[in-house]
Amino acid sequence: MVPHYTVYPILCEPLFKPKIWGGRKLEVLFGMDLPAGEKIGEAWVAADLAEGSTRVANGPLTGASLGDAARLWGEAMIGPAWRGRPTGARFPLLVKFLDAQDDLSIQVHPDEAACRSDFPDDFSKDESWIVLDATPGGAILHGFVAGVTLDDFDRLLAEGRVVECMRRIEVRPGDVFRVAPGTVHALCRGVAILEIQEPSDSTFRIYDYGRLGDDGEPRPLHLDAARKVMRFESAGSGPRIRPAAATTSWGWRETLVDVAAYRIECVTFERPTSWRVDPRSAQTLIVLEGEVSLAAGGDALRVRNGGCVALPAAVGTVRVDVGPGGAPARAVLAGAGGVEMIPAR
């Protein structure tokens, strides 16, 4: 048994999820060793859910789950910022890559209030997307066209034309979107994303293009539940987030999303740097381009593009250096909302 206090950075082993709308793009983007013959829609790279948990790929806990680490180390792992949340001692983020080779179902997620009042077996699901790849014309559906009412929605849904009342946004790599609970949404074919969200798989499916599941039957819809949580209000000027980049002594940084559920920063490492992890929250570091060397808690590892490291709240100082040849590396950091990932300096 590893002592309670011996925390170290955890390299997560992806958990692959076959989906009828998935493909093999993650092999191309990140060289992932996907299961042969499977259409992989999702790679969960930091997960601690009943529906699946990623495994530890380094150190004394190799082969254990991320959930095992969270239960073993407690707040030394997850940090007190998450204390009292409905998901309890679970690792507080779900991080995954999605490859949409076909249109995903139109769906919506509940918030905490809806879960308390109507869905006690579900959990709030607030998520954000970073677009990694998109074919020409690749798009997302995000909310309704201005002026759409519940009557409009019900009529178009009954006619199999609900897509017509949805706001369709063409996307390109680097685009960032937040999908707040209650926002009706879908990824469209040809788009691959990094998704960071609350640790929940609660999804209410609204429309699925008449597709059949692996059992030959239509996949279930959850219309009554969806009507209780979906929102029709306008999203103002549009959902695409336009962060401002700031230079640092070691490269670049951008704050992408900072809400109660989580904070997400995008960083480009051009030179070595170090920071002390804020003990209020665990962090995840996901490398999107290049490779980094990372050292913390007496452990050192290399993280290549597509790799994810869970940094315990109590791990202390983290040192990062760029990979071979000094090539810059781009990564995403996420933790509790309001907790800065790398202190400004």
**Three-state DSSP string of 277-330:** CCCCCCEEEEEEECEEEEEECCEEEEEECCCEEEECCCCCEEEEEECHHHCCEE
Please identify, in words, the CATH class of the domain defined by 10-241: mainly beta
Point out the residues that are catalytic: 205
The CA distance from 169 to 137, in Å, is 9
**What is residue 283's predicted lDDT score, i.e. its pLDDT?**
97
**What is residue 10's predicted lDDT score, i.e. its pLDDT?**
97
Q: Are strands 317-322 and 273-276 parallel, antiparallel or unpaired?
A: antiparallel
Please identify, in words, the CATH class of the domain defined by 246-335: mainly beta
Cα distances (angstroms) measured from residue 294 to each of 9, 56, 274, 291, 319: 9, 16, 9, 10, 6
Taking the CA atoms of 196, 200, 206 and 207 in sequence, report the sign of the dihedral they define: positive
**What is residue 244's predicted lDDT score, i.e. its pLDDT?**
86
Q: Which of 142, 132, 143, 145 is nearest to 194 (CA)?
A: 132
What residue spans define the domains of the chain? Answer: 10-241, 246-335
- Mean pLDDT, the chain cut into blocks of 10 residues (345 residues total): 73 96 96 95 97 95 96 96 92 98 97 96 96 97 93 94 95 96 96 97 94 79 95 73 91 95 97 96 97 93 96 97 89 96 78
| Fold match, 10-241 / 246-335 | yes
The CA distance from 180 to 125, in Å, is 8
Say which DSSP state 341 is in. Answer: S
- Cβ within 8 Å of residue 194, ≥6 positions away: 95, 96, 97, 129, 130, 132, 286, 288, 332
Residue 163 token pair: 């897509």
pTM of the entire predicted model: 0.95
Give ∠ CA 195-118-207 in degrees, rounded to 5: 50
